[in-house]
Amino acid sequence: MSTILFNEIVFGPIHSRRLGVSLGINLLPTNGKRCSFDCIYCECGYNKDFKTNTPLPSRTAVKEALEKKLIELKEKRITPDVITFAGNGEPTIHPHFTEIIDDTITLRNEFFPNAKISVLSNAAHIGKRKIVDALLKVDNNILKLDAGKLETIQLMDRPLPKDYTVEKQIELLKQFNGKFILQTIFLRGTHDGKAIDNSTEEEVSAWLEAVREIQPKEVMLYSIDRETPEKQLEKVSIEELQKIGKRVQELGIKVNIAG
């Protein structure tokens, strides 16, 4: 199985199809995966295959690694468009996530004040006020909702929190008052003998109703781009994403489609 694990705290910059020239920050172990979802499409693979006892990097280690990289980029005259929290799992599970966000804002302001700060999150931990407050400080807090039906999310994302429901997530996402980007992947295929397709009319309608209720400032649509741990998955075409995107625009919400 070909997977992508980030073996550094700070990696890149890489060219992100959604964010531009992106400098990545990995708050998870550099030799394994730690996540509160276990998505069948995750480029980092399944949680069970990459268990590790390596501790999470300290706040100090993250700050030092980021400062070193920003100095290096400055010397090379490379300007990042964005500093992105991504990596080997869910960044908001780091116990010092909020403080690390503050450190990152300070360093960004010092070295590249025009760079945006983005967080890619599965939104499983936005029931914690300090996580919400930290996400509201960054330029792009990009939060996931892959379907409007719980059974589909359980098949695709396999959330570990037992109390995860679509209704609960909608209410938690509404607390941002639109100050976030909703991210959704569309795909089809099978997993454990069960058919999955969140691009059907029934699925899209349920998801659109959730989007209408949540009212994010933007919706980011994409499909599979890299190898996935579940091999029986297919990419949804750009034309299909555009049709879904048009329906989002009819709700008065900006759309960003990654081809």
pTM of the model: 0.92
pLDDT in tens, 86-97: 889 999 999 999
CATH 3.20.20.70: does it fit domain 10-257? yes
Give the rounded distance of the alpha carbon of 77 from its chain centre: 28
Give the rounded distance of the alpha carbon of 115 from its chain centre: 18
Q: Is 106 helix (H, G, I), strand (E, B) or coil?
A: helix
| Tokens standing for residue 259 | 């081809």
Span 3-21, average pLDDT: 78
User: Which strands, in side-by-side order, build the sheet including 82-86?
Assistant: 10-16, 20-26, 82-86, 116-121, 140-144, 181-185, 218-222, 254-257
What confidence category does residue 131 fall into, taking pLDDT thresholds of 50, 70 and 90?
very high
Of residues 207, 145, 133, the one with CA closest to residue 176: 133
Q: Which residues pair with 16 in a beta bridge?
A: 20
pLDDT in tens, 20-41: 789 999 999 988 899 999 999 9
Q: What is the DSSP letter of 34?
A: B
With contact defined as beta carbons under 8 Å apart, do 119 and 60 qualify? no
Q: Which helix H or strand E contains 47, and what residues bound it?
A: none
Q: Is the pLDDT of residue 1 over 70?
A: no
Give the rounded distance of the alpha carbon of 18 from its chain centre: 11
Cα distance between residue 90 and residue 128, in whole Å? 15
Listed in sequence order, the DSSP H helices in 180-255 are: 201-214, 238-249
pLDDT in tens, 236-248: 999 999 999 999 9
Report pLDDT for 120. 95
pLDDT in tens, 41-84: 988 888 887 788 888 999 999 999 999 999 999 999 999 999 99
Greatest Cα pair distance in the chain: 53
pLDDT in tens, 148-198: 999 999 999 999 999 999 999 999 999 999 999 999 999 999 998 899 999
